[in-house]
Structure 1
Amino acid sequence: MKSTMALKPLVFALAAVMAMAAQAGGRGDDHDHGHQPKGPTLEELLQIGAGASAVSVDTQSSTTNVVNNQGTQNSSSITNSMNSSSGNMNGNSAAGDGNEQANLAAIASSDESFIFGTSTAAASATQYNNNNYVNNMSVTNTSAIANSGNGSSGNITGNSAAGNFNQQKNDLAIASSGGRVAQAASAASQTSSNLVVENQGTATYGKETLNGTFNAGGVFVAAGVAKTEGDDHGGHGGYGDRGGKGDKDSTSKFVAVGAVELAGTTTQQVMYQNGWKNPVTNTSYLSNVGNGSSGNMGFNSAAGVGNQQVNAISISSAGH
């Protein structure tokens, strides 16, 4: 089978959609990133004029962000998607903070009624990820692509990311010409610098109840002297000049003996360290993806921090 025939199902299926993109060619991000590195310009991507042209340009920037995750769970998945499809399919799924994703397509198709039958297409994407800080404490990141893109044809791409500041891009540039010249360019530029990541574990604690009993006892002895005062006045009697005699003071001793007993129960709860949680758990997998398909398949799955992924395709076909 000729390459021109292999391209036709995808090219003509998207001709109506990409007509507007062709009219918007040349428009990109107007922001000046200054010191940040720049991706290739359209002049660099397309060096020739064309009877039909399509361009797609995208720029994403993520700078000076701070993320603090404590006990956070990020889960991203693409499941049972884009099956038995045809054409250009893109799927993105992200969980977390500061993730960047882009899907670009540029398709140009011309026949000999255009100038010399020329056709050009370009797709360019630039992503910046600078000066970001992430502190993960016992964070679980899971990313999965399962049962997707099966039995499909054309250009199928899927991205799944869980975590922080992941960059993902799907670029497509197709040029099909019935004349002599066809040119396609696809460019991807990703920058990640000064990214700080701290993965820290946290202790786990258990609780235990403690029960106890107590018994106490004792005796006491007390001893002392008791004094009783008598009458100091003289008596009255008929004994001449001899006065009466009053009562005398008296004393007595005493001893006291006793016993005390005490009993009871105690209950208290205590915390104890019984282990450590995993600092960070990153799980990424692809399962049952792209089976029985034809064309260009690209799937990305990422879990963690600062991952960069690109699916880029450039196809050029000339009829003569």
Structure 2
Amino acid sequence: MKPKMALKPLVFALAAVMAVAAQAGGRNEHGGHNGGHNGNNNDSLLLSLLVNAGSAATVLDTQSNGNNRVLNEGTRNDARMDNSANGSNGNLGANVAAGDGNQQDNVAAIATADENFIFGSAVAMAQANQSNFSNGVKNYSTSNNATLTGSANGSSGNIGINVTAGDFNQQKNNLAIAVSGGRVAAATGAANQSVGNLNVDNKADRTYSKDTLYSTFAAHGTYQGNGWGYVEDESSGHGNGHDRGGRTDKDPLKFHEEGTFGLAGVASYQVLTPTGWKNPVTNNATMVNSLNGVSGNVGANVSAGNGNQQTNSLSIAAGCKACM
């Protein structure tokens, strides 16, 4: 192969990656500090390393969540990974999410160069930026469960698993590998995560028992009294002819009365008595019988709740000592 023909892949690689670098430096307008500092650092890294690079791999990824509001009432978020990805080989990335506004990422960049006469250098860069800002979460009687069970057993290679349940969680798996048959190899894995002004309000419903209360009352007393009067009756008379009626008699009457009285009764009413909380906000992250017998680079993230940040980064650079 002629030297000018061998240089063509390098020229194409430099042009492509430098174009990506220029785009990365200017496209993150809403990233604030991440956009400014990360863009400049990435450009400097690429320009300084790629000049002598025979192979380059670049992955740039940006995710953003902002000004979101989530209201969960009696909500259940379950993220499960059961009996999956067992016996896998190579680069494995798995994301399982339940809830709202979660960010998960698997980033891989691999570069290899074995052409010594093209300077024999390789550059691999993987970058992922995630940001959450000004988000609000209100959980009422919400249950978040993230479970990794019986998964990725017997796997080999680079393994990254993310399982999350809840709201606005950030998880990443980054991989950058550069292998050079020459004297220069550079691998960079960058992960930037930021959460700002995240408001979480966890509440539950109060539980009550309906209790019936009873009350009784009793009253008693006595009374007595005396009375008098008369009873009238007419008796037939034997007078002369001018007497047309009989004589009226008034018989005296006296009486005495006494006795007792009693009153009794039962009254009932119901009240609500606080007993506890119904379905309080619960966050459960479980990893059971997973990643057994694996080999290589293994990263697993399991989270439940709100606004969690987890990352797994791997950067490998291998050069040729004999070429130095």
Query: Do they superpose with TM above 0.5?
Result: yes
Greater percentage in helix: 2
Structure 1 residues 45 and 140 mapped into 2: Cα distance closer, same or farther (>3 Å)?
farther
Q: Distance in 1 between matches of 2:116 and 2:56?
A: 14
CA distances 1:217-263 after superposition (whole Å, capped 9, x unpaired): xxxxxxxxxxxxxxxxxxxxxxxxxxxxxxxxxxxxxxxxxxxxxxx
What corresponds to 2:182 in structure 1?
Answer: 179
1:83 maps to which residue?
A: 86
Indicate whether 1:292 and 2:293 are aligned.
yes
Q: Any unmatched runs of 5+ in structure 2? A: 1-15, 216-265
Residue equivalent to 2:55: 52
- Give the alignment partner of residue 65 of structure 1, picking from 59, 68, 71: 68
| Contact 1:25/1:53 (<8 A) preserved | no
CA contact (8 A) 1:142 1:283 kept: yes
Instruction: Find the aligned partners of 1:207 and 1:36 in 2 and give their Cα distance.
Output: 56
Q: Partners of 1:168 and 1:65 in 2: how far apart?
A: 19
Matched, 1:30 2:27: yes
**Residue 275 of structure 1: aligned partner:** 276
2:145 aligns to what? 142
Matches within 5 A, 1:52-201: 52-112=55-115, 115-201=118-204
When the two chains are superposed, the root-mean-square deviation of aligned CA atoms in Å is 4.4
Tell me the residue number matched to 2:218: none
Amino acid at match of 2:310: Q
- Give the counterpart letter for 1:37 in structure 2: N
On the 8 A contact 1:45/1:185 being kept in 2, the answer is: no
Deviation digits for residues 63-116 of structure 1 (CA, Å, limit 9, x no counterpart): 111111122111112221221111110001111111111111100111125611
In the alignment, is the contact (CA less than 8 A) between 1:121 and 1:185 conserved in 2? yes
Tell whether the 8 Å contact from 2:152 to 2:294 is kept in structure 1 after alignment.
yes
User: Distance between the aligned counterparts of 1:24 and 1:103, measured in 2?
Assistant: 23
- Structure 1: gaps (5+ residues): 1-20, 213-264
Letter in 2 for 1:157: G
* 8 Å contact kept, 1:144–1:286: yes
Q: Are the aligned partners of 2:54 and 2:115 in contact in 1 as well (CA < 8 Å)? A: no
8 Å contact from structure 1 (residues 136, 279) kept in 2 = no
Identity rate, percent? 49
The one-letter amino acid of 1:124's match is Q
2: distance between equivalents of 1:161 and 1:24? 35
After superposition, give the CA deviation of every residue in 1:121-149 in whole Å (9 maximum; x if it has no partner): 00011111111111112211111212122
SS in 2 for 1:292: coil
